[in-house]
Structure 1
Amino acid sequence: MTKAFRLIASTGIHKGDRDYQQDQVALLSHPRYNGCVLAVVADGMGGRSGGRKASDQVMMTARQLFERYCPDTDDASSLLEHIVHESHIVIRLTAISAEQEPHSTVAAFLINPRGDCHWAHAGDSRIYHFQGGRLLYRTADHSYVQALVDRGELTEAEASNHPHSNILIGCLGSESDPPVTMHLISQLQPGDVLLACSDGVWHYFSPAELASVLESLTPREATEFLIDKARSRARGGGDNLSLVVVRIEALADEKKLPPLVAPLTLSA
């Protein structure tokens, strides 16, 4: 029998040091099934109008398909794949009449009422899974530098500062179908924290720093802190920022405040 739990969540978005916002973020509660939620981050690319049109299309498609989803009978992974592929098709159609070429990443996770969690991503927006102040798993970017890391030609630290770190090998709106990587958490546990974010956020933090922040602060506090810290570290050259934080707590812990497990030790 699945233990009852509650979700505490927050979203955040900021245009950073860009002139316009191309990121989009959403945390959707299912209109008919309590405890069923969908989190989506989309990082649009292709100029001011092109990138925003692309990320808007991801959000519109996600909302429409999620509203028709039934967790009792439908397959969550199939839903996420449909969101990615249908968004890709419409973005490609939009490109025919657009002055710029619209593209977008997507990082989405769906939590069912029984506690299973399904992920899908394409591009370099990421999803992280933390438990007890440590990283359990994260998505691997569909990017040029991630391919170098996978081949052992770069370390993770070298990849984050590589001059070609922004080159993607797959995303929505490209000529070829986007790569879609799936992941499953069969049962979420109290203390689990999920983070989905664009590269404008994760680029400025190590996994250990993210783990410390998310363990020490509430989702809303962590969202505000990460945006402020990323902007500070970008030193005037930061990208758009978007993120979703979801913490899983047991209902029995409802009256307890989350403990300050680890001090924040981030430097500028």
Structure 2
Amino acid sequence: MKFSVFQGSRQGPRPYNQDRLAYAYTKDAILLVLADGMGGHRHGEIAAHMAVKMLTEAFQQSSNEKLRNPSDFLHAQIMRIHERIESVRIAKELLEGPRTTIVAVIVQHEYLYAAHVGDSRLYHFREKQILHKTEDHSIVEKLRRQGQLDEKSMRTHPERNKIYNCIGGNKAPEIELTHKHELWDGDTLMLCTDGVWGALPDEKITQILLSGYVNQTVPKLLDAAETSAGKDGDNMSAIALQWGEGKQNNKHAVSTATMPLGSTTTIMMDPAAGLESTIQLSQGEPAPAFSDDDIESAIAEIQAAINKGKKPSPN
């Protein structure tokens, strides 16, 4: 496999960043995952952290063999994440369960499989056009499908930020699958939160993202979204992947031709610090298990970030 991939995040005017994102790859498959913790509910950032960490862990553990059905894998793992979040709510005696959106993609042997819950999106571009875009699980998208709103009205509707489907909460998520379809050389994929697509129309997103290599265009896209949204903006995160031989002049391109079978590379982004961490596992080496200590550590880190962002009270 040959591809170029880049991820980035902006805090925007919010006091802290609730988005979490990562990508991982083996010799034969790639995982992209992005989650947007729901700020209208308590501890949304914990749910987003758990979603990304648990899904990348499951992908790492499956690296010794080809996934028989990537769609089934994504569905099962997202449901597992939901159940784990609920168990954390009970164990920590939280008044309200942490909640998050998720969008995840697996590319295996030149075919794409995807799943999403909520309003974080997948875009699939081909030849400067949007070939496929996921449909948001939002109030305004439901009204559009019913013919009660057009796309222009959706952008200013008072309930445009409300979603009816998420991971966490008191009911199981409705996981929507984008079933198998082929990637062509030169195709581009992007996962992004509503902070990006809510600030820019699809035409502008397409224009910026496809104007060069993703390591150059994703930062430009995030800059444009942040400028457009201004003081009303949200956290803004995106992962983009350019597929195939056509982009291999890019020095950031990845080839998995020499990777040993069973090994994985995972790059996780810490939006609060603006840094990436890399996990490399050799053939047969077990993936680090997601533990209660991970949850406690995440809570402590996020609480520190929240406290750091708070303005001191006037004397």
The CA deviation string for residues 181-211 of structure 1, in whole angstroms up to 9 with x for no partner, is: 1113422101211010110111112222222
Cα 1:223/1:236, change in 2 over 3 Å = same
Aligned to 2:33: 40
Q: Do the aligned partners of 1:44 and 1:105 also contact (CA within 8 Å) in 2?
A: yes
Letter in 1 for 2:183: L
Structure 1: unaligned runs, 5 residues or longer: 258-268
Within 2, Cα distance between the matches of 1:45 and 1:16?
15
Q: Percent identity?
A: 28
**Alignment CA distance shift 1:52-1:24 (3 Å):** same
AA matched with 1:180: I
- Structure 1 length normalisation: TM-score? 0.87
Q: Decide which moves more: 172-181 or 41-50.
A: 41-50
**Which runs of 5 or more residues in structure 2 are unaligned?**
252-315
Contact 2:32 2:105 in 1 (8 A): yes
* Structural mapping, 1:103-182, within 5 Å: 103-112=99-108, 114-182=109-177
Alignment size in residue pairs: 248
Query: Match for residue 12 of structure 2?
Result: 16
Which amino acid in the other structure matches residue 86 of structure 1?
Answer: R
Q: Work out whether residues 132 and 215 of structure 1, in 8 Å CA contact, stay in contact via their aligned partners in 2.
A: no
Report the CA distance between 1:159 and its aligned residue. 1.0
Q: For 2:71 and 2:227, locate their aligned partners in 1 and report how far apart those are by CA, in whole Å.
A: 37
Is the 2:138–2:161 Cα contact (8 Å) retained in structure 1?
yes
Of 46, 51, 54, the residue aligned with 1:53 is 46
Q: Contact 2:23/2:56 (CA < 8 Å) preserved in 1?
A: no
Matched with 2:217 is: 222
Cα offset, 1:101, TM superposition: 3.3
Report the structure number with the largest CA radius of gyration.
2
- Three-state SS of the structure 1 residue aligned to 2:244 is strand
- The match for 1:80 is 74
TM-score (structure 2 length as normaliser): 0.74
Pick closer, same or farther for the CA change 1:144–1:256 going to 2, 3 Å: closer
Match of 1:9, SS state, is strand
Task: Answer whether contact 1:28 1:38 (CA < 8 A) is retained.
Answer: yes
